[in-house]
């Protein structure tokens, strides 16, 4: 993901790539002497904390696409948001943000009369399960529609080379309603992260969401 984000940024007139950092320091440049407006992190729990430190050093906006981060790291991120603008998105695609918006509206309209299942499918090598996106969908349903999704209603499948599929199914007597998002290229997430960074870097310090960057209603 980091590599694709870097490659796509080179063809995007909104950006100038000034640093590319990984555990092996492949680029040989930590960007310490270059002005930095935004940092995009697709790494690990430890790498995410390093990205927070880097962003704070440069007073740069921070977009975090890393999933499966620990509570300790979430606390570090929350503290950083008092100083810099931070956007945490376990899924940076605009389509997922719209899907969540639709799922919340469906949950509000259908209420408790329907059984709800959330099915997510990812490649066999994905470590966290359920996915961060699945947890985000469940949290949004609880917070914004009052629908609590039990753990046994969230189904995680790890198989093959699937990039990412998320489906929410509402079932009742005589009918089923499905709202689904299927990712067919990882470039989707890289482009979404770049769009989020372009939107975020002029914002005031605080915590932001992909939905806000798209102008979607995230209220109760």
Name the residues annotated as catalytic: 122, 126
156, β-bridge pairs: 120
For residue 189, report the phi and psi dihedrals to the nearest 5 degrees: -75, -35
Query: Could you give the count of Cα atoms lying within 13 Å of 43 in the half-sphere of its Cβ?
Result: 20
Q: Which DSSP string do the residues of 45-111 spell out, in sequence order?
A: HHHHHHHHHHHHHHT-EEEE---S--HHHHHHHHHHTTTSEEEE-S---HHHHHHHHHHHHHHHHHG
133, β-bridge pairs: none
Q: Mapping DSSP to helix (H, G, I), strand (E, B) and coil, where does residue 139 land?
A: helix
């Amino acid at each position: 993901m980091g590599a694709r984000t870097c490659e796509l940024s080179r063809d995007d007139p909104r950006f100038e790539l000034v640093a590319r950092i990984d555990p092996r320091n492949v680029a040989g440049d930590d960007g310490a002497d270059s002005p930095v407006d935004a940092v995009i992190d697709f790494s690990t729990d430890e790498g995410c904390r390093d990205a927070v430190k880097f962003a704070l050093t440069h007073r740069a906006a921070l977009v975090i696409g890393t999933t499966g981060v620990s509570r300790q790291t979430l606390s570090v991120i929350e503290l950083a948001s008092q100083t810099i603008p931070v956007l945490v998105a376990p899924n940076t695609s605009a389509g997922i943000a719209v899907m969540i918006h639709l799922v919340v509206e469906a949950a509000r309209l259908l209420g408790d009369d329907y059984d709800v299942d959330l099915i997510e499918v990812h490649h066999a090598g994905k470590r966290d399960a359920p996915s961060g996106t699945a947890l985000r969908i469940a949290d949004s349903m609880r917070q914004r529609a009052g629908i609590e999704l039990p753990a046994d209603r969230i189904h995680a499948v790890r198989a093959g080379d699937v990039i990412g599929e998320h489906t929410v199914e509402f079932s009742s007597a005589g009918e089923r309603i499905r709202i689904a998002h299927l990712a067919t290229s990882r470039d989707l997430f890289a482009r979404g992260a770049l769009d989020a960074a372009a939107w975020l870097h002029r914002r005031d310090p605080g915590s932001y969401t992909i939905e806000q960057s798209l102008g979607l209603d995230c209220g109760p």
